[in-house]
Structure 1
Amino acid sequence: MSVDFGSQDHRGTPEKPGRVVTLIERSFWETLTDHHPSGSDRVWGTAYRIEAAKVAEVREYLDIREINGYTIHYTDFHPADASAPIKTLVYIGTPDNDQFMGPQDPQDLAEHILRSEGPSGLNKDYLLSLETALDNLSPESGDGHVKDLANRLRNMSEVTVCSSQEEVALDHELEKVGSTDEQEETEKIL
């Protein structure tokens, strides 16, 4: 199952953590009060095969990046082509992870994501890319919680763009023009 965790080093800052998703164990997910509609036993994702010569290097990098409040699990990954399962290493969030944000109102969460930015970029870009990646894995792979947040974010972005355009148009409508040349320039802008 996936839930929202803070991102102080990638999609936010320590002062203003962004939001990302992480995997948690089902037993922890079941204790939460805001069960998402996507309570499937199946988790969709991508597995990467690492060259034997690079395994230690990649593992060291991932341990630094993911180990804060995560545990390592080995689990079977079932490829979409129904070939034999592959044993994979997965980092699972733990209940005592200080980055765990707990249940949040979806609208407040979407607004927070819209305002967050960190060294790796805008938090909204992370969410929209995650939605696209999940949707592209398989017809059944989308996540209701991620989709809901992405739709809320898009709706807020449309409102922000529309209101900004209306303000610009209103400013031009109310602008006093003192000469014919200024009038022509104003009409070109509009």
Structure 2
Amino acid sequence: MSEDHRGTPEAPGRVATLIERSFWESLTDHHDSASDKVWGVAYRIDAAHAAEVREYLDIREINGYTIHYTPFYPAAKGAAAFRTMAYIGTPENPQFTGPQDVQKLAEHIFRSTGPSGPNRDYLWGLETALNELSPESGDEHVSDLSTRVRALAEAEANAETATAPSTQ
């Protein structure tokens, strides 16, 4: 959940969370076609700024997350793997929601807004970013949610147009 960026404490937004594969396999809503890979971007931080960046990320990400060090395999052919740090969500995190009905989740995302903007913009940005990483990097669950939220936005726009007073 996001109570401080894409939602509020009264209506928390939803955000993507990395979780351990063993925990993911215990969930009831995973897609059978899910990849063994997790796609993402790694940033190399200049040593002079590493402590400052780590402090910022710890404040932003540490609530219910654990730090893991894992190999990162660049998509570029011939690029060498390197060790990277990632924040992994835990089921003990009070903001971890677990599996939800996908249509209810889409409706929740459609309605949620926080100081960083609408939750739907986060979802659509995530979908775009995943699709741009690599031809294999798209995520079926994220795309399904995005399609459902777009349908809700279109239905709302059509309803507003239908009830708007005529200017004739």
Assess same fold via TM > 0.5: yes
Residues 1:7 and 2:14 are matched in the alignment:
no
Of 86, 95, 100, the residue aligned with 2:96 is 100
* Number of the residue aligned with 1:179: none
Of 147, 154, 163, the residue aligned with 1:151 is 147
Query: What letter matches 2:15 in structure 1?
Result: V
Q: 1:39: how far off?
A: 2.2
Of 14, 17, 36, the residue aligned with 1:41 is 36
Residues 1:129 and 2:131 are matched in the alignment:
no
Helix, strand or coil at the partner of 1:22: coil
Residues 1:30 and 2:25 are matched in the alignment:
yes
Q: 1:38: how far off?
A: 4.5
Aligned 8 A contact 1:38 1:143 in 2: no
Q: 1:143: how far off?
A: 0.3
Q: How does 1:44-63 map to 2 (within 5 A)?
A: 44-63=39-58
Helix, strand or coil at the partner of 2:49: helix
Q: How many residues matched? A: 167
Residues 1:78 and 2:73 are matched in the alignment:
yes
* Number of the residue aligned with 1:178: none
Aligned 8 A contact 1:18 1:112 in 2: yes
Residues 1:138 and 2:134 are matched in the alignment:
yes
Structure 1 unaligned spans of 5+: 1-5, 173-185
Q: Alpha-carbon deviations, 1:57-86, whole Å to 9, x = none?
A: 000111111111100000111111130001
Q: 1:94: how far off?
A: 0.6
State the structure with bigger RCO (CA 8 A, min sep 6), 1 or 2.
2
Aligned 8 A contact 1:37 1:144 in 2: no
Q: Alpha-carbon deviations, 1:123-150, whole Å to 9, x = none?
A: 0000000000000001100000000000
Report the RMSD for the aligned CA atoms in angstroms. 1.0
Aligned 8 A contact 1:37 1:145 in 2: no
Q: In proportion to residue count, which structure has more strand?
A: 1
Query: What letter matches 1:85 in structure 2?
Result: A
Query: What letter matches 1:74 in structure 2?
Result: Y
Question: Cα–Cα, structure 1 residues 38 and 58, in superposed 2: closer, same or farther, change >3 Å?
Answer: farther
Q: Within 1, Cα distance between the matches of 2:32 and 2:127?
A: 16
Percentage of matched positions with identical amino acids: 66
Helix, strand or coil at the partner of 2:45: coil
Between Structure 1 and Structure 2, whose CA radius of gyration is higher? 1
